[in-house]
């Protein structure tokens, strides 16, 4: 595919979509002759393609399309699926010339496969749920011999696709253009969600008149709001919802991907054939620069079924250590050991709980990761011991770029072992990042990941202790002065795969290696905590993500909610946004509001840029300090409930933070709500919509009026409600950190429904080890209130 990039960033996005659209409008691949399923010919090339269709247990179907005999292997995404899925045998219920009808094991679904033109229709109980290639936009750019091997009579017009110039960069395609794409039609659906990460609304927009959604992990400082350009992470999972069904499409491809969405109404037959009714239809077109077509159709039929199906493929959210659900204090940068000590003391002086203080890149010796600045951090172990006595933790940054310095052990070892990504000429790829000239570890190589994991051993990582945890930043990967500030697509990885094939996986692999390193240093006993900026499908298995370099403006606080809801829908429950905004200086009211919002979101970290004024929670006057203190304390009191939600996310893939429509799937008025949300099933954070019985979380006053409520709000609080019919476990008071609260007693808030009943759960373990898994050392209680009796089992 010709991506036709320009120098200007706004033009890049437009041109990527336009050029992919141009070639997709060539002849659609419909064979003019009789076909023998499952192979068909692409007419523009006469290359044989092979289709594979599988049923996977749990209402999942997988469709793979590849060249029957490619010149070389095409990239198939490894390591994202937790295992090769268990398949079930589809039965052939009808076979005639060019048409095959397949029936699922449970007889609930049929797939009608047509050879000419190629199309797959998926039916459930007589209803068409989804069709593939119904618009004939399937495209598969077959691998070709390089231009020098072509016959002299070959047309020259396509030879430019083997190399593209944009600005001063030349992208040399060693194996030629190899893009793929196809369309899906979602019948009866006009609400679609997912495909993070974008600074966009929860409900995905119609792109027919503008830019497609782009999935391409990029370091974008101060990303703009309401743009479809890809930012730090990519999860190619799209959900479609209507009152009686939720469906999903998981497009397993790690190269640059565009997603075009077109929602419209089509005429459909009513029960009375004399009448016609408008039926919504959403066309979703996926286009990727390379790889194969490997797509999973998740048939639900509920949203919670979709979450389980996606987790069955890519894994559930790792159960985080309890401390990581507390409040985190970060800044680029806390200057030295004295600064760390003073900030830590400030929290105690102002009676504000917190669990973790963070160190950004300036804590290192000249941006050499796994080292300490010898003047500013002369005794990092002593600093950590002081934090340990306060029952707190430290997180340090470890980026993927390695300073080119023969005296730096990590660089010299990596170079000697051949562990860096190569350029197209076989030399170590060098780019500019924070340390200056840098090489980039090839985390796609399992040997590199194992070696990298070993770097976290206490004897290797001098000055580290078991209260030190890790933050992976800049791992899109970020390359200053690179095309779009990232690695060139013709860089070469393990097994000679070009970077273009796996770009969106790079950060996923670094977080994987880091998490394994933290587990390994404890001999497999302790849970890791790793925050990553770049992510992909399956990143939930390794830790947390955040929304990147946001700005201290009201619009960024507002957009953070749909961004986090979208990430949560894509399987990553442990997500958050920098409280206060990373860039700039928030006005006091904005900072207060952001703390109140962050206290009810999964990952809760205050963070700011080095250019921003200091903004520890006590620097904005006593009144604001008091409100922030109360918000953070509310978070700590809520931890038993939040930890139980994470256990549910870990075991049954229920998102911790979820849109209202997930809990109220039949209520159309919830489908577009993005400024309020549910925390689990029991807590609603919002001020307007109320499709159930609710009690004010703080005053216990019952909201008498069902339906839509307008709740008056003061600066002192944000509206939070407990659902009638639920029991929420809480701590009776907040402590200095989570570890200070181990012996603090619990309380249960019992909110009755119309029948004076309520149920709830509490999950408890030691909060840090894998004993819950290996030795079943945990407590899991169900509470029931019925006939004025509270029981626990």
Q: Tell me the C-alpha distance between 384 and 620, whole Å.
A: 28
**Distance of alpha carbon 426 from alpha carbon 254, whole angstroms:** 23
Least confident interval from 230-234, 265-269, 597-601, 697-701: 265-269
| Residue bearing the bigger pLDDT, 690 or 172 | 172
Pull the structure tokens for residue 644: 């139980």
Q: What is the pLDDT of residues 393-445, one digit of tens each?
A: 999 999 999 999 999 999 999 999 999 999 999 999 999 999 999 999 999 99
Going edge to edge, which strands form the sheet with 694-696?
657-658, 677-679, 683-685, 720-723, 694-696, 702-703
> 256, 286, 314: which is the final residue of a domain?
314
Q: What is residue 46's predicted lDDT score, i.e. its pLDDT? A: 76
- Catalogue the active-site residues: 473, 476, 549
Q: What's the total number of domains in the chain?
A: 4
With respect to residue 348, please indicate whether it lies within any of the assigned structural domains: no
Residue 259 burial (10 A CB sphere; 0-12, 13-18, 19+): buried
Residue 209: pLDDT band (50, 70, 90) is confident
Q: Which of 314, 347, 367 is the last residue of a domain?
A: 314
Q: What is the pLDDT of residue 351?
A: 98
Q: Do 130 and 156 have their domain in common?
A: no
Q: Which of 173, 123, 145, 140 is nearest to 67 (CA)?
A: 140
For residue 218, is it within any domain?
A: yes
Give the mean model confidence (pLDDT) for residues 494-512.
Answer: 98
Q: What are the tens digits of pLDDT across the range 722-744?
A: 999 999 999 999 999 999 999 99
Mean pLDDT of 476-494: 97
Do the strands 657-658 and 789-792 form a parallel or antiparallel pair, or are they unpaired?
Answer: unpaired
Q: Which of the four pLDDT bands, split at 50, 70 and 90, describes residue 709?
A: low
Lowest mean pLDDT among 337-341, 549-553, 688-692: 688-692
| pLDDT at residue 22 greater than cutoff 50 | no
DSSP 8-state code for residue 486 = B
pLDDT > 90? residue 464: yes
Does 562 reside within a domain?
no
Q: 117 and 258: one domain?
A: yes
Confidence (pLDDT) at 278? 87
357 within some domain: no
- In this model, does residue 230 exceed pLDDT 90? yes
Mean pLDDT in residue range 158-167: 77
Tokens of 744: 């603090």
pLDDT greater than 80 at residue 379:
yes
For residues 416 and 521, membership in a common domain is answered with yes
Flag whether 677 is in a domain: yes
Burial of 406 by CB count in 10 Å (0-12 exposed, 13-18 middle, 19+ buried)?
exposed
Give yes or no for residue 203 having a pLDDT over 60: yes
Taking the CB of residue 295, how many other CB atoms lie within 10 A of it? 20
- The residue-averaged pLDDT of 301-330 equals 98
Q: Which domain holds residue 211?
A: 9-143+178-314
The stretch 128-152 carries a mean pLDDT of: 87
Q: Which of 517-526, 607-616, 701-710 has the lowest mean pLDDT?
A: 701-710
Output the domain CATH number for residue 496. 3.20.20.80
pLDDT for 353 beyond 70: yes
CATH assignment at residue 77? 2.60.40.1760
DSSP string, 165-187: EETTEEEE-TT----EEEEEEEE
Band of residue 705 on the pLDDT scale cut at 50, 70, 90? low
Same domain flag for 295 and 430: no
- Domain membership flag for residue 187: yes
Please report the pLDDT score of residue 271 as a whole number: 47
Q: Is 79 exposed, middle or buried (0-12, 13-18, 19+ CB in 10 A)?
A: middle
DSSP code per residue over 233-280: B---EEEEEETTEEEEEEE---S-EEEEEEEEEEEEE-SSTT-EEEEE
The answer to whether residue 25 sits within a structural domain is: yes
Q: Say yes or no: 163 and 273 in one domain.
A: no
Residue 35 has pLDDT above 60, yes or no: no
- Same domain for 280 and 417? no
Q: What pLDDT shows up at residue 14?
A: 41
What CATH number is associated with residue 757? 2.60.40.4040
Of 525, 542, 559, which residue constitutes the final position of a domain? Answer: 542
What is d(CA 118, CA 125) in angstroms, rounded to the nearest whole number? 23
Question: Of 245-249, 470-474, 491-495, 688-692, which gets the smallest average pLDDT?
Answer: 688-692
User: For residue 272, what pLDDT band results from cuts at 50, 70 and 90?
Assistant: very low
pLDDT at 450 over 50: yes
Give the CB-side neighbour count of residue 397, counting CA atoms within 13 A. Answer: 24
Pair (502, 437) in one structural domain: yes
pLDDT digit string, tens, across residues 506-558: 999 999 999 999 999 999 999 999 999 999 999 999 999 999 999 999 999 99
Supply the pLDDT for residue 120.
Answer: 98
Reply yes or no on whether the pLDDT at 9 is more than 80.
Answer: no
Q: Within this chain, do residues 154 and 237 fall inside the same structural domain, yes or no?
A: no
Do 39 and 159 fall within a single domain? Answer: no
Rg (CA), the chain: 27
Place of tokens 């401390």: 323
Verify that 668 and 520 share a domain, yes or no.
no
Which residues are CB-contacts of 117 (< 8 A; sequence separation ≥ 6)?
28, 30, 133, 136
Separation CA 174–CA 172 (nearest Å): 6
Report pLDDT for 150: 62
What does pTM read for this prediction? 0.94
Residue 155: the pLDDT is 54
Q: Is residue 344 part of a domain?
A: no
Q: Are residues 667 and 747 in the same domain?
A: yes
Euclidean distance between CA atoms 450 and 99, whole angstroms: 49
Q: CA-CA distance, 644 to 641, in Å (whole number)?
A: 5
Same domain membership, residue 242 and residue 164: no
Mean pLDDT of the chain: 91
């Amino acid at each position: 595919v010709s991506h036709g990039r320009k120098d200007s960033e706004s033009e890049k996005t437009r041109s990527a979509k336009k050029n992919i659209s141009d070639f997709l409008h060539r002849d659609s691949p419909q064979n003019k002759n009789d076909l023998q399923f499952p192979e068909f010919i692409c007419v523009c090339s006469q290359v044989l393609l092979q289709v594979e269709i599988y049923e996977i247990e749990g209402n999942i179907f997988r469709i793979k399309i590849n060249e029957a005999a490619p010149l070389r292997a095409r990239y198939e995404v490894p390591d994202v699926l937790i295992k090769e899925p268990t398949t079930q045998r589809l039965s052939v219920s009808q076979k005639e010339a060019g048409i095959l009808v397949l029936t699922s094991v449970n007889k609930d679904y049929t797939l009608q496969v047509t050879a000419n033109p190629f199309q797959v229709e998926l039916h459930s109980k007589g209803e068409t749920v989804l069709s593939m290639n119904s618009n004939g936009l399937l495209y598969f750019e077959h691998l070709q011999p390089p231009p020098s091997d072509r016959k002299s009579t070959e047309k020259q017009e396509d030879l430019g696709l083997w190399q593209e110039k944009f600005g001063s960069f030349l992208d040399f395609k060693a194996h030629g253009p190899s893009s793929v794409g196809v369309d899906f039609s979602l019948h009866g659906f006009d609400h679609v969600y997912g495909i993070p990460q974008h600074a966009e609304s929860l409900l995905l927009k119609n792109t027919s008149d503008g830019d497609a959604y782009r999935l391409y992990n990029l370091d974008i400082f101060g990303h703009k709001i309401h743009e479809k350009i890809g930012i730090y992470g990519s999860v190619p999972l799209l959900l479609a919802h209507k009152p009686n069904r939720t469906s999903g499409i998981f497009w397993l491809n790690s190269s640059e991907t565009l997603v075009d969405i077109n929602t419209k109404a089509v005429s459909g037959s009513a029960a009375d054939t004399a009448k016609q009714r408008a039926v919504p239809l959403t066309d979703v077109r996926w286009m990727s620069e390379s790889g194969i077509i490997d797509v999973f159709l998740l048939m639900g039929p509920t949203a919670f079924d979709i979450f389980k199906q996606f987790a069955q493929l890519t894994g559930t959210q790792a159960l985080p250590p309890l401390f990581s659900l507390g409040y985190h204090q970060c800044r680029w940068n806390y200057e030295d050991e004295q600064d760390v000590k003073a900030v830590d003391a400030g929290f105690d002086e102002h009676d504000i709980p917190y669990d973790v203080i963070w160190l950004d890149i300036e804590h290192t010796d000249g941006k050499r990761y796994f080292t300490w600045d010898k003047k500013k951090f002369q005794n990092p172990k002593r600093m950590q011991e002081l934090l340990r006595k306060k029952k707190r933790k430290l997180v340090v940054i470890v980026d993927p770029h390695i300073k080119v310095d023969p005296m730096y052990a990590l660089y010299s070892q990596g170079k000697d072992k051949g562990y860096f990504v190569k350029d197209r000429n076989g030399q170590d790829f060098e780019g500019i990042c924070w340390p200056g000239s840098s090489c980039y570890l090839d985390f796609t190589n399992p040997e590199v990941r194992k070696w990298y994991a070993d770097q976290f051993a206490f004897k290797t990582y001098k000055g580290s202790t078991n209260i030190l945890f890790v933050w992976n930043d800049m791992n899109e990967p970020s390359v200053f002065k690179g095309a779009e500030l990232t690695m060139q697509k013709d860089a070469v990885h393990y097994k000679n795969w070009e970077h273009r094939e796996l770009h969106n996986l790079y950060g996923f692999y670094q977080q994987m290696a880091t998490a394994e390193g933290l587990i390994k240093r404890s001999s497999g006993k302790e849970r890791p905590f790793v925050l990553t900026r770049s992510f992909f499908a399956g990143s939930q298995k390794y830790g947390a993500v955040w929304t990147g370099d946001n700005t201290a403006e009201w619009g960024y606080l507002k957009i953070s909610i749909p961004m986090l809801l979208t990430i949560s829908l894509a399987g990553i429950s442990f997500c958050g946004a920098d409280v206060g905004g990373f860039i700039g200086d928030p006005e006091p009211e904005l900072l207060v509001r952001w703390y109140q919002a962050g206290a009810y979101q999964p990952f809760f970290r205050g963070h700011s840029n080095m250019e921003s004024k200091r903004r520890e929670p006590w620097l904005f006057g006593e009144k604001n300090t008091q409100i922030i203190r109360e918000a953070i304390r509310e978070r700590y009191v809520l931890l038993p409930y939040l930890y139980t939600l994470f256990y549910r996310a870990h075991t049954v893939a229920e998102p911790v933070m979820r849109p209202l429509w997930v809990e109220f799937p039949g209520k159309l008025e919830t489908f577009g709500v993005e400024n309020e949300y549910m925390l689990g099933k029991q807590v609603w954070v919002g001020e307007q919509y109320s499709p159930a019985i609710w009690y004010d979380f703080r005053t216990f006053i019952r909201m008498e009026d069902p339906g839509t409520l307008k709740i008056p709000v003061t600066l002192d609080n944000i509206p939070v409600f407990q659902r009638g019919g639920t029991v929420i476990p809480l701590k009776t008071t907040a402590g200095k950190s989570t570890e200070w609260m181990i012996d603090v007693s619990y309380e249960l808030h019992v909110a009755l429904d119309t029948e004076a009943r309520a149920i709830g759960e509490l999950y408890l373990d030691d909060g840090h080890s894998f004993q819950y898994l290996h030795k079943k050392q945990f407590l899991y209680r169900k509470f029931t209130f019925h006939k004025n009796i509270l029981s626990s089992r």
